[in-house]
A and B are shown apart, each in its own frame.
Chain A
Amino acid sequence: MAIDLRQFHQTFFDESLEGLAGMETALLRLEKNPSANSTDDRETLNAIFRVVHSIKGGSGTFGFGWVADFSHLLEGLLDDLREGRRTLDKAVVSMLLRTVDCLRNLLDAARGNKMVDKTAVENVTQALEDLRRADAVVVAAPSVDSKPDSAQRWRIAFKPKLQLFRTGNDPWRILRELALLGEIKVTCDSTALPAWHEMDPECCYLGWSIELTGNVTRAAIDEIFSWVVDDAALEIAPLAEPTTPVAHREAHTDAKPTMVKLHGPSLRVSTLKVDTLMDIVGELVITQTMLQQTATAFAPKDLPQLLVGLTQLERNVRELQESVMSIRLLPLAFVFSRLPRLVRDIGEQLGKQVELRLAGEHTELDKTVIERISDPLLHMVRNALDHGIESPAERRAAGKPATATIRLEAQQKGGNVIIEIEDDGRGLDYDKIFARAVEQGYASANARPTQEQLQEVIFHPGMTTSDAVTDLSGRGVGLDVVRNNVRSLGGNVEIYSRPGQGTRFTVRLPLTLAILDGLGLQVGDQTYILPLVSITESVRLTADDLQSIPGGGEVFALRKDYLPLVRLHDLFGLAPRSPDVSHGTTVIIEADGSRAGLFVDEILGQQQVVIKSLETHYQRIDGIAAATILGNGTVSLILDAGGLIRLAYAHTNVAAMRRPVAPLAAIAPLH
């Protein structure tokens, strides 16, 4: 029965990458405070050694040749370090960091994601070997077996020492194994057996003389005795002339990295969370049984019992929901952990001194959100390093400390996680942004937008203001992609900046992708759900508040601004309860820096809904984000504020809204 090893590949990769991440963190720490406490450092080096050792072992087992060879080489260096044969200096740390990258690439290649960059690997290998050359320890190649290899008959004398049993070995096993190689004739030598009353049953007094017939190699016999060779007197001799020696050296086959087909995304979950889940399911089963019993032969007197059961059911389900959601939650530390390395490398590259301060890395987010927020966050940090932070000389000239600070802080607020990325650099250059916006056609040269609008416009495509497109911030990976990624997760990004003082990005993300806090809206005979995050306030308008625009559309004044009115009935082709705005409510929605008023019949109330996809079996509809299933089993559509606002602008003649006060006139709508 062949066991397919591929089922373990995923775990191996997960574990190895985790180990490498830990190794990287440890190296960065050691670099900052070398030998602050040497026993701690020794333990850290030991831990690093074990990581590479495990990777070596696993990759050998699974046949990932490149990984195995490289980690074998690296292990040697790490062994020297942990045994104190070599000191850990900055050069060694930099080298080791390179090996971490190399191993990551090799693991990726083994997983089937990329080709191995042989030149890169060879470079690192060469550097590694150069570093070790002085203390090269020649590992003795296994000695070639010079004894006769194979014979027809062997004579074996096996006399174990007294304490053989204490190592858990058993001569009976050995004899049995020999019997598998060929025919054996065994004679027992009991001369050493003492008298009964002197005998210690835990000692081995017996010896054996074995004649083994068959075409058996010496190696096979050695193998059987390999464990006990030190605990016994052993003589192995061929009895007949050996046949032509069959030099059988099985080289370790260095299997090419196999293309592994993984079983799909996986999750490492703490057993504690799973145990909790099991407990809740257990309670659910009990509740179900109770309800079932109550329902069978139900009489009106059983009603209170039924109600109790239903309350219990509600509680069980809620706990189950929270518990399952929490399984998908991972701490942001997963994302934050890549940053120290990034900041260090890029800082060095650009000649800037930066201190990274992280807070709230224990804050948890849904696994999918974490995976997809990782790149956007990294990009924003890169942005800060690239554009925001000045060189040490510039900073000193501006009266700032030479070392800049980038602060990343995450916290949970309600159903959202807020992540702030703040730097104390030069802030947004509004003039440059304005110039670029005009270039790109987002603004007109004679109507300079407000600071808020300029902050908003940098999220439009093509808005990078660096003169040379450095590969740091990426070609074409602008902030627009960042915001799209965040929006696609149901979140948003905002920016705030003070020239000369710094810039702050605020990323807002929902705690989970599947559940939404929404507001129920009645429109005609239909119920819609509007995500709470999109709502700023609600007002009751009168017909006098509305103004028609020549060319189409209606607007109304909200304090200093004019906002377009979206009559949801008209948009969706429903009959309203009343077309008179004073008979209904207008909800002010906001998305992407724009606002609009949504006229509906009635606000129903807040509710938490499960997000169901519309696109799985149908397709996207503008203005509709998804759907949900209400308590009565009917489907209710979840509105997309951004989409609705865009539709509103499409129907409303924006050009006719050119007033000095209108905030939206200077920037053309996005899509």
Chain B
Amino acid sequence: MHAEIASISSTAVEPLYLTFSLAGQDYAVPIAKVQEIREWTRVTPLPNSPRYVRGVLSLRGTIVPIIDMRLRFQLEEKPYDSFTVIVVVNVGGRLAGLVVDTVSDVVRIGSAERCTMSDFEGKTNRAFIEELAQINGNLLIVLDVDRLLNVEDLATGAGPSEQ
């Protein structure tokens, strides 16, 4: 399954987000930063890289790094299956693929849906969280995509990557 997200115009008031799930928790990223969604395919591993950088893929001729989001958030690793999806994000011209369990929905998040951080206690690194929202009783963690792709954070690890 390849799906390219057509540019859905989002108003400044209530922007659109793509939601996906990881280990039972729902997350959201702004639709404006999502370039496309792809099914999982074998990647070429990169030596001397962090564990969560699984490798690189060719995206119509461009070499794009693929980040395993479970590993990025230090969650339990899960074997990839037919539902595993790569969300390709574009942050200021830099591309990266995020491996997630499943992609759910496109939702609007406005002031009605947003809630405060102070109530939140989660395992996810708070540095990546942009804000929190609640839709239909479900907690949604809105991610700061720019931070996820921050170059310093993607610095080479000390040793070779493990399989």
Do chains A and B directly touch (beta carbons under 8 Å) in the complex? yes
A contacts, CB < 8 Å to B? 526, 570-575, 612-614, 616-619, 621-624, 627, 629, 633-637
Distance in Å: Cβ of B36 to nearest Cβ of chain A: 14
B47 touches A627 (CB 8 A): no
B62 at the interface (CB under 8 A from A): yes
B154 at the interface (CB under 8 A from A): yes
Q: Nearest chain-A residue to B56 (Cβ)?
A: A635
B45 at the interface (CB under 8 A from A): yes
A623 touches B42 (CB 8 A): no
**10 new A-B contacts at CB < 8 Å, known A572-B45, A622-B48:** A572-B47, A572-B160, A573-B160, A612-B61, A612-B62, A616-B63, A618-B53, A621-B47, A624-B47, A637-B46
Distance in Å: Cβ of A11 to nearest Cβ of chain B: 30
> Which residues from chain B contact A617 at a C-beta distance below 8 Å?
62-65, 94-96
B47 touches A619 (CB 8 A): no
> Which residues from chain B contact A572 at a C-beta distance below 8 Å?
45, 47, 160
B160 touches A571 (CB 8 A): yes
A612 touches B48 (CB 8 A): no
> Which residues from chain A contact B95 at a C-beta distance below 8 Å?
617
B61-90 to A contact mask, C-beta < 8 Å, 1/0: 111110000000000000000000000000
Distance in Å: Cβ of A580 to nearest Cβ of chain B: 21
C-alpha spacing A629/B47, complex, angstroms = 17
B63 touches A635 (CB 8 A): yes
A-B pairs with beta carbons under 8 Å apart, 20 shown: A571-B47, A571-B160, A572-B47, A573-B45, A573-B162, A573-B163, A614-B56, A617-B62, A617-B65, A617-B94, A618-B56, A618-B154, A619-B154, A622-B156, A623-B48, A624-B46, A634-B42, A634-B58, A635-B44, A637-B47
C-alpha spacing A637/B94, complex, angstroms = 20
> Which residues from chain B contact A612 at a C-beta distance below 8 Å?
58, 61-63
* Option from A574, A621, A629, A633 in Cβ contact (under 8 Å) with B49: A621
Given contacts A614-B63, A617-B95, A619-B151, contact A629 B45 (CB under 8 A): no
C-alpha spacing A613/B94, complex, angstroms = 13
B21 at the interface (CB under 8 A from A): no
Distance in Å: Cβ of B93 to nearest Cβ of chain A: 9
Distance in Å: Cβ of B148 to nearest Cβ of chain A: 13
Interface residue ranges of B88-108 to A (CB < 8 Å): 94-96
Q: Nearest chain-B residue to A612 (Cβ)?
A: B63
Q: Nearest chain-B residue to A615 (Cβ)?
A: B63
B94 touches A526 (CB 8 A): no
B32 at the interface (CB under 8 A from A): no
B43 at the interface (CB under 8 A from A): yes
* Option from B58, B65, B159 in Cβ contact (under 8 Å) with A633: B58
> Which residues from chain A contact B56 at a C-beta distance below 8 Å?
614, 618, 627, 635
> Which residues from chain A contact B22 at a C-beta distance below 8 Å?
none
A635 touches B160 (CB 8 A): no
C-alpha spacing A464/B93, complex, angstroms = 42
Q: Nearest chain-A residue to B55 (Cβ)?
A: A635
Interface residue ranges of B24-53 to A (CB < 8 Å): 42-49, 53
Q: Nearest chain-A residue to B162 (Cβ)?
A: A573
Q: Nearest chain-A residue to B96 (Cβ)?
A: A617
Distance in Å: Cβ of A649 to nearest Cβ of chain B: 16
Distance in Å: Cβ of A613 to nearest Cβ of chain B: 7
C-alpha spacing A575/B162, complex, angstroms = 11
> Which residues from chain B contact A622 at a C-beta distance below 8 Å?
48, 156
B57 at the interface (CB under 8 A from A): yes
A627 touches B163 (CB 8 A): no
Q: Nearest chain-B residue to A618 (Cβ)?
A: B65
B contacts, CB < 8 Å to A? 42-49, 53, 55-58, 61-65, 94-96, 151, 154, 156, 159-163
Q: Nearest chain-B residue to A635 (Cβ)?
A: B44
Distance in Å: Cβ of A226 to nearest Cβ of chain B: 56
C-alpha spacing A616/B163, complex, angstroms = 25
> Which residues from chain B contact A627 at a C-beta distance below 8 Å?
44, 56, 63
Q: Nearest chain-A residue to B151 (Cβ)?
A: A619
Given contacts A617-B64, A627-B63, contact A635 B163 (CB under 8 A): no
C-alpha spacing A623/B45, complex, angstroms = 14
B63 touches A613 (CB 8 A): yes
C-alpha spacing A617/B154, complex, angstroms = 11
* Option from B43, B61, B156, B162 in Cβ contact (under 8 Å) with A629: B61
C-alpha spacing A637/B47, complex, angstroms = 10
> Which residues from chain A contact B45 at a C-beta distance below 8 Å?
526, 572-574
> Which residues from chain B contact A570 at a C-beta distance below 8 Å?
160
**Nearest 7 A/B pairs, CB to CB:** A573-B160, A572-B47, A635-B44, A618-B65, A629-B58, A617-B95, A627-B63
C-alpha spacing A514/B101, complex, angstroms = 37
A635 touches B48 (CB 8 A): no
> Which residues from chain A contact B62 at a C-beta distance below 8 Å?
612, 616-617
C-alpha spacing A657/B94, complex, angstroms = 45
> Which residues from chain A contact B53 at a C-beta distance below 8 Å?
618
User: Max chain B CB contacts within 10 Å: which of A571, A573, A636?
Assistant: A573
C-alpha spacing A211/B24, complex, angstroms = 94
A623 touches B47 (CB 8 A): yes
Distance in Å: Cβ of B118 to nearest Cβ of chain A: 36
C-alpha spacing A635/B95, complex, angstroms = 16
C-alpha spacing A623/B156, complex, angstroms = 13
Distance in Å: Cβ of A125 to nearest Cβ of chain B: 47
User: Max chain A CB contacts within 10 Å: which of B42, B63, B162?
Assistant: B63
Q: Nearest chain-A residue to B48 (Cβ)?
A: A621
C-alpha spacing A235/B100, complex, angstroms = 90
A635 touches B57 (CB 8 A): yes
> Which residues from chain B contact A633 at a C-beta distance below 8 Å?
58
